[in-house]
Amino acid sequence: MSTPWPFPRIIAHRGGGRFAPENTLAAIRKGHALGFRGVEFDVMLTSDARPVLIHDETLERTTDGRGNVAETPLDVLATLDAGSWFDAAFKAEPVPAFEAAAALCASLGLWANVEIKPATGHEQETGRVAAMTALTAWNGAVPQPLLSSLSAAALRAARSAAPALPRGLLFDAVPADWLAQLQALECVSLHCNAARLEQRTARAIRDAGYGLAVWTVNDPAMAKRLFGWGVDAIFTDRLDLIGPDFAA
């Protein structure tokens, strides 16, 4: 990334952090209501290859359904309650289609980090569909989303489908060959686990011209330290402690 980080520096994790059920339209609205200019959410495919917002490959943790997302069609997912597990106030909050989340972000002027989260064995198809959906949904609207993933195969498919959309490669711990991997996928940024990042690695990534975003940072002191290392952006659940205008 030859220019300074062009995206928000404080990003609401899974939409609303700890203040709304993750990966729902309610979460995106909550992040926006709290003043955040950027949100992150996860995209996976249903059995009929429709992209929806959900983190786990299974339904049990965040819905009242059972089974695998990749084995469940969209019309069934649409009937599930994805909010009551969090709080009764969110009862009947649905698992949203990616198109609906994209339309909401565009209408609110929110930047989105779209994490492509393929179920095992669906990497290429998830990357392709997520990228095509993002390209169509935003249709040139500003700000354009950033597509990110732990899966190189998913990002490779996303690049083929929508080469103009920026991409970020995720690592839990940054490997020795991180630069070669970013170059191979023509990424603009590297995203990693903040707890496993070293200062010298952060400096090397920034010196190489790439954006650097880290998850999940919920302690203000840690956030300040990471920004001092040159980190460009953090994902946070604590929207109350690390607000959209947190002093870097």
55 is catalytic: yes
Strands 146-149 and 111-116, how do they pair? parallel
DSSP codes joined into one string, 131-188: HHHHHHHHTT-SSPPEEEES-HHHHHHHHHH-TTS-EEEEESS--TTHHHHHHHHT-S
Instruction: Report domain extents, the chain.
Output: 10-58+97-236
pTM above threshold 0.85: yes
What CATH number has the domain spanning 10-58+97-236? 3.20.20.190
For 164-197, how does the pLDDT look when each residue is reduced to its tens digit (9 = 90+)? 999 999 999 999 999 999 999 999 999 999 999 9
Q: Is 122 a catalytic residue?
A: no
The predicted-structure confidence for 110-121, as pLDDT tens digits, reads as follows 999 999 999 999
Q: List, for residues 54-83, the tens digit of each pLDDT value.
A: 999 999 999 999 999 999 999 999 999 999
Catalytic residue, candidates 13, 32, 122, 191: 13
